[in-house]
Amino acid sequence: MFTAYDEKRQLFCLLDQSEVPNDQMKQLVWHCPICEEAVLYRAGGKNRPHFSHYSNSSCAGSAETKEHREGKERLYAWVKTFAEEVEVEKWLPMIDRRADVWFRYRGVHYVFEMQCSPVDRMAIRERTLAYESQSIQVLWVLPAELMKRTATAIYIQEWQQEACFQTGSFPPQLMYLGQQLSIATLSAYMSPRKFIASWSSLPLTPSGFSLLIHDHLSVKNEPKAQLFYKQQSRYGKVKLQTAFSQHVQERLYRYKSPLYLHPAECGWFVPGQVWVSEPPVVWQTYVWLSLIESEQHEFHEWINDELAEVMKWLGMSERQAIRLMSQYVQLLQRLHGQKPNDTLLPTLELSFPKSADEAHRQDRQIYARLPVTFKKTL
């Protein structure tokens, strides 16, 4: 930690003080702002001076790694160059959380959360919701060491997907902190762990942050990668392991179709796919069937009927589910020549390809009509 209470219960931040002699600091008594326990001032060696708990502490602030501390320090130094107000390790008693780097920029409150170790994906979601309840936008940042990539793809774990979505960027992006900020923009689904991504990097300069929040408004779709994914799913490469995929297959049996002969309109990437751990072929076939079977003609009526089921099967919040469903319905609208944002649901025809080869031909026709970009307002 970089902050502690001094003997007068004043909050002392090491990152804001440059010249305090170590001997003097070590003689003072310091207390943790979270648990109020006494903490040690540590300085010397390669580490930047910091406060740390005694080894038997159970405080949430006691398990901090060097990596996490260094990430916070770099983010704090950067944010100071452009923010109207900034605080490292800001304590937010209303939500019982300590933000890594809290700041205000153009009147909006943000928090950089540096996540260095794997966590439960629900923890990422809950923390984000807690901040949002205080009108704070969270920007999740991972250390560059966790970046697993090739030139065009990114490999991410579940909790990283969650961080990617929860950052609220659109299209879904994941940020990695090294000497600069590396940003992966996800543009096609390949498997629950692999996405096609494009990469950019942002220098940690005063203008960098406004570029980050303003310049990334649309995602270039990667139809080629998508077609490859569709081809694999046609020829039996998509495994049906989850209860949800079995449920979808059972529904399809009513129409005497195996899943690999799903309609060509199913299985394409929409940006919200990053929130789902089910393959697009599976969940979109589910939605497609639901649209076919629904008596409703308007999107809002249909979603009213379906929301609870979608949330249950896909394990999503209401907000996520509505966003994902509207993205997919809009894709269907475009494919049927309707205007996106039309409130009417597209009229779908109940027919299935008869063979994988026929299906693949149909997929190629759809592929030619896919939108190139997804706009922020989807």
Contact residues for Zn ion, defined by CB under 5 A: 32, 34-35, 59, 61
Whether 160 contacts 116, CB under 8 Å: no
**CB of 40 vs Zn ion, minimal distance in Å:** 12
Residue 275 per-residue DSSP state: G
Residue 114 or 147 having the CB closest to Zn ion: 114
Using an 8 Å Cβ cutoff, are 167 and 175 in contact? yes
Q: What angle do CA 105, 93, 43 make, to 5 degrees?
A: 80
Q: Quick one: 93 or 107, whose CB is closer to Zn ion?
A: 93
Question: Measured from the CB of residue 118, what is the shortest distance to Zn ion in angstroms?
Answer: 23
Largest CA distance in the chain: 80
Give residues with Cβ within 8 angstroms of 175, minimum separation 6.
139, 140, 141, 142, 167, 181, 182, 183
Structure tokens at 172: 């879904």
Cβ 36 to Zn ion shortest distance, Å: 7
For Zn ion, the closer of residues 121 and 127 by Cβ is 127
In whole angstroms, give the CA distance from residue 250 to residue 257.
Answer: 10
Q: Nearer Cβ to Zn ion, position 52 or 128?
A: 52
- Cβ at position 51, least distance to Zn ion in Å: 9
Measured from the CB atom, the residue of 32 and 197 that comes closer to Zn ion is: 32
- CB closer to Zn ion, 32 vs 225: 32
| Residue whose CB is less far from Zn ion, 39 or 156 | 39
Nearer CB in complex with Zn ion: 63/350: 63
CB of 67 to Zn ion, least distance (A): 19
Residue 44 CB, shortest distance to Zn ion, in Å, is 22
Number of other CB atoms surrounding residue 365 within 10 Å: 10
Q: How far is the CB of 59 from Zn ion (least distance, A)?
A: 3
Q: Which of 186, 190, 374 is nearest to 279 (CA)?
A: 190
Residue 28 Cα distances to 32, 41, 58, angstroms: 13, 9, 23
Q: What are phi and psi of 62, to 5 degrees?
A: -90, -15
Q: How far is the CB of 254 from Zn ion (least distance, A)?
A: 58
CA distance linking residue 79 with residue 88, whole number of Å: 10
How far is it, in rounded angstroms, from Cα 288 to Cα 299? 13
The DSSP secondary structure of 287-326, one letter per residue, reads HHHHHHH----BHHHHHHHHHHHHHHHHT--HHHHHHHHH
